[in-house]
């Protein structure tokens, strides 16, 4: 099977397989282990500040001499109005009562103590750290940032969940489009967080392939050779792997989280805004069941910041009922082996299936 294509040439990798940038799961070690498999590692920077971004980038560079992508959130930041302050205060009070009832002691932040970082600040840091591949989600980069990055020789990978979003990315001269189907775990890459497109991945991929000319990475539900080959037939040039790596040696998840993911059944997977204020796919638990249909969901990123300390404390207590465990619709056994082994095995199985078909 010939893996060489536009993606491998652009990204200088042997296999067009991209490790998903899963914030809270991805580690510099996972990125480096992906590089060892001759695939593209992705370092999740989310909305970290410049200092944190630099530290993670430099640590990753110590572990691998190969290029890797850095991934950022390009969401719009809602203005703090009097109405938002009031709702934040009410939501905070509700959470405090909820965690008290569940014997969790946590100090939740006031809204004026929350620091929200802009991605424009991250762009400057990424350029100064000489990172040449940038992927992003939750929207499109502003034109000034696109120009800055392109003038630095940076390859840009944008995420979409609809044909209209794909067209916006292509018209903005984004080099590669990542099409994310509803099967994918974690946050939706939609430009909006209300009335998000809920399109099956294969249908979405086929429509986008017929619409845009730039290379396409497909994300959502790829967990074995057959699912990878199916997306290849429908026009994917690259293949993003996320949930398959959740149980790996390099995953940042704790043992109790990995075990909970291994025991999940399809009926427990839900699309929820309860933890972050943006739709994400994960395992239903006490927190989600209490919050999801309530009035206590703030706009992203305020909900995310408010629940951050709660999730941290719950993780320390090995309490799966109050942590976000993101996963997609393709349930698998989650290998405990290294990311390198998991990806090489996927490549080998794909080649075997290709030649047998």
Binning pLDDT at 50, 70 and 90, where does residue 266 land? confident
75, 108, 306 from 113: Cα distances, Å: 20, 10, 10
247: nearest Cα among 180, 305, 327, 313: 327
Per-residue pLDDT, averaged over 194-203, amounts to: 93
Q: What is the pLDDT of residues 85-117, one digit of tens each?
A: 999 999 999 999 999 999 999 999 999 999 999
pLDDT at 333: 85
Domain range list for the chain: 6-77+116-251+335-356, 79-115+265-326
pLDDT score, position 268:
95
Q: Note the pLDDT of residue 357.
A: 58
pLDDT at 1: 85
Instruction: Report the Cα 304 to chain-centroid distance in Å.
Output: 14
- Whether 353 shows a pLDDT value over 90: the answer reads no
This prediction's pTM? 0.97
- Which superfamily, per CATH, for 6-77+116-251+335-356? Aldolase class I (3.20.20.70)
Considering only CA atoms, give the Rg of the chain. Answer: 20
282-315 pLDDT, tens digit per residue, is 999 999 999 998 999 999 999 999 999 999 999 9
The overall average pLDDT reported for the chain is 96
Contacts of 233 (CB under 8 A, 6+ apart): none
- Residues 167 and 211: their CA atoms lie apart, in Å, by 8
Average pLDDT over residues 134-152: 97
Q: Token digits for 336?
A: 């405990």
d(CA 110, CA 104): 18
Determine the pLDDT at residue 355.
Answer: 67
| DSSP codes joined into one string, 266-311 | GGGEEEE-TTTSS-EEEE--HHHHHHTTSS--PPTTHHHHHHHHHH
| 167: pLDDT strictly greater than 70 | yes
Predicted confidence band at 258 (pLDDT cuts at 50, 70, 90)?
very high
Token readout for 213 is 């000319």
């Amino acid at each position: 099977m010939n893996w060489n294509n536009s993606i491998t040439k652009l990204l200088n990798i042997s296999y067009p397989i991209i490790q998903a940038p899963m914030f809270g799961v991805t580690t510099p070690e996972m990125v480096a282990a992906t590089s060892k498999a001759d695939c593209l590692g992705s370092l999740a920077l989310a909305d970290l500040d410049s200092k944190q971004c630099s530290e993670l980038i430099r640590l990753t560079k110590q572990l691998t001499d190969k290029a890797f992508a850095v991934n950022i959130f390009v969401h719009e930041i809602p203005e703090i109005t009097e109405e938002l302050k009031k709702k934040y205060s009410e939501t905070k009070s509700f959470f405090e009562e909820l965690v008290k009832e569940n014997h969790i002691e946590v100090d939740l932040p006031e809204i004026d103590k929350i620091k929200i970082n802009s991605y424009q600040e991250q762009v400057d840091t990424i350029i100064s750290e000489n990172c040449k591949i940038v992927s992003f989600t939750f929207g499109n980069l502003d034109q000034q940032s696109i120009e800055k990055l392109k003038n630095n020789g940076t390859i840009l990978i944008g995420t979409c969940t609809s044909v209209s979003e794909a067209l916006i990315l292509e018209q903005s001269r984004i080099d590669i489009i990542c099409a994310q189907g509803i099967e994918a775990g974690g946050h939706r890459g939609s430009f909006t967080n209300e009335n998000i497109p809920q399109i099956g991945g294969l249908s979405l991929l086929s429509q986008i392939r017929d619409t845009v000319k730039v290379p396409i990475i497909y994300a959502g539900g790829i967990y074995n050779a057959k699912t990878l080959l199916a997306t290849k037939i429908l026009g994917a040039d690259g293949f993003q792997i996320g949930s398959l790596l959740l149980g790996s040696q390099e995953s940042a998840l704790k043992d109790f989280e990995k075990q909970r993911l291994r025991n999940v059944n399809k009926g427990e997977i839900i699309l929820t805004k309860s933890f972050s204020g943006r739709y994400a796919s994960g395992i239903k638990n006490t927190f989600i069941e209490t919050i999801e249909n309530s009035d206590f969901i703030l706009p992203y990123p305020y909900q995310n910041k408010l629940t951050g300390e709660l999730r941290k404390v719950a993780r320390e207590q090995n309490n799966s009922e109050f942590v976000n465990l993101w996963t997609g619709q393709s349930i698998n056994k989650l290998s405990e082996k290294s990311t390198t082994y998991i990806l090489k095995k996927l490549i080998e199985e794909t080649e075997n299936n290709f030649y047998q078909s």
